[in-house]
């Protein structure tokens, strides 16, 4: 298993922000937490592959948004924020070694953070970053491989995976103020921990931000292995745990 990651860029203070007020980000602390994230992924069985540093691209640590990868194909996105589109060049170059590559084309926009896979179903948030054409193109690329693509309505949050992620093929963790997922067994985030729903699912358990102990307890109480990591600095840039890697089985 491979995890593509990219270092925290020195320009992170200029990142895109939609729902949060800008606060100072401690670059050294952010880098140290990012290393801990990579070490945790390695301990869960992933080989870390570093993408080239792009210090001039403030959001480039959030590699998830630049591609959607399955066993069969890598779909390079066209991020909704124009400042983020140059990030895809180096991601496409790296993924070309592992998968056939296709691209979301103008006028489509799609952020990987809006794409949640559960089994053969892809749920896609129609957000400020992801538009109808982007979703339609994703559907065109994925349906030949037997996947479905279903649009999800989102309220008041950046990406679909800000609001909901999967804990396994039948259970989701979500913030009910932002999204509903009918048909799935559901754990809700603790009311005091709005951003706790973004967890990184691996075959050996889920990585969660240590900032959300009450939600961690809810997940653990269902028998799921949780690996907490400190992710507080990149959270100030509106980034969670899924955002910082592209996982290849
Ligand atoms: C942005 O607004 O694009 C970045 N500051 C945060 C992106 C977080 N990515 C994600 O949730 N997948």
Domain boundaries in the chain? 2-248
Could you tell me if the CB of 193 is within 6 A of ligand 1? no
Place of tokens 């140059």: 86
Taking the centre of ligand 1 as the mean of its atom positions, its distance from the CA of residue 106, in whole angstroms, is 20
* Segments of the chain scoring below 70 in pLDDT: none
pTM: 0.98
Q: Which CATH architecture has domain 2-248?
A: 5-stranded Propeller (3.75)
Q: Is the peptide bond before 4 cis (omega within 30 degrees of 0)?
A: no
Six token digits for residue 125 = 């948030």
Burial classification of residue 95, based on how many CB atoms lie within 10 Å of its CB (0-12 exposed, 13-18 middle, 19 or more buried): buried
pLDDT digits (tens, 9 = 90+) for 128-147: 999 999 999 999 999 999 99
Cβ count within 10 A of residue 203: 10
Quote the tokens at residue 85. 């589109």
Spacing, Cα 151 to ligand 1 middle (Å) = 19
- Maximal CA-CA distance, the chain: 45
The residues facing 21 across adjacent strands are: none
Sheet holding 171-174, edge to edge: 164-166, 171-174, 185-188
Q: What is the pLDDT of residue 228?
A: 98
CA of 61 to the centre of ligand 1 (A): 9
- The token duo for 53 is 């540093």
Nearest-Å Rg of the Cα atoms of the chain is 17
Query: Which residues have a Cβ under 8 Å from the Cβ of 117 and sit 6 or more positions away?
Result: 70, 123, 147, 166
Q: For ligand 1, what atom is nearest to the CA of residue 129?
A: 3
Query: For ligand 1, is residue 236 a contact (CB within 6 Å)?
Result: no
């Amino acid at each position: 298993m491979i995890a593509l990651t990219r270092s925290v860029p020195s320009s992170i203070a200029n990142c895109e922000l939609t729902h949060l007020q800008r606060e100072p980000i401690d670059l050294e602390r952010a880098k140290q937490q990012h290393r801990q994230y990579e070490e945790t992924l390695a301990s869960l069985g992933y080989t870390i592959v570093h993408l080239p540093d792009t210090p001039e691209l403030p959001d480039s640590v959030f590699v998830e948004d630049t591609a959607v990868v399955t066993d069969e194909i890598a779909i390079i996105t066209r991020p909704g924020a124009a400042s983020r589109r140059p990030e895809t060049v180096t991601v496409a170059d790296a993924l070309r070694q592992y998968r056939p590559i296709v691209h979301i084309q103008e006028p489509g926009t799609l952020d990987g953070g809006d794409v949640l896979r559960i089994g053969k179903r892809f749920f896609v948030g129609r957000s400020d970053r992801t538009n109808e054409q982007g979703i339609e193109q994703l559907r065109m690329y994925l349906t030949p491989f037997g996947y479905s693509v279903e649009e999800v309505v989102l309220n008041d949050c950046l990406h679909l995976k800000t609001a909901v992620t999967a804990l396994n093929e039948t259970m989701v963790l979500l913030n009910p103020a932002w999204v509903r997922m009918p048909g799935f067994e559901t754990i809700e985030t603790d009311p005091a921990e709005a951003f706790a729903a973004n967890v990184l699912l691996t075959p050996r358990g889920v990585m969660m931000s240590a900032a959300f102990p009450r939600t961690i307890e809810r997940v653990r109480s269902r028998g799921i292995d949780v690996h907490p990591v400190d992710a507080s600095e990149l959270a100030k840039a509106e980034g969670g745990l899924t955002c910082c890697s592209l996982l290849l089985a």
